[in-house]
Amino acid sequence: METQRRTLVKAVLWNVLGLFTMSLVGLVTTGSAVVGGTIALLNTAVGLCCYFLYERIWARITWGRRHV
């Protein structure tokens, strides 16, 4: 089972990558760095919370695991 700290670090790093990607997409789509950045920040905040909860739920599910 993975620790909550590890799950949090993974979630933050994944979302930093997503923030940069979404910022670029937002800039290209809207033509505005401010609007694109705001969309990216909101998306990242929601995504971080959802990803963390998703990982913690799956950490408790034993289905499909092999114990060595």
Q: What are phi and psi of 64, to 5 degrees?
A: 80, 0
Q: Is the pLDDT score of 63 beyond 80?
A: yes
pLDDT at residue 32, as a whole number: 95
Tokens standing for 38? 């705001």
Residue 14 Cα distances to 18, 29, 48, 65, angstroms = 6, 22, 8, 23
pTM higher than 0.75: no
**How confident is the model over 56-68, as a mean pLDDT?**
85
Residue 45 structure tokens: 């905040």
pLDDT tens, residue by residue, 13-52:
988 898 899 899 999 999 999 999 999 999 889 988 998 8
Q: How far apart are CA 9 and CA 51, in angstroms?
A: 11
Give the model's pLDDT for residue 64.
Answer: 83
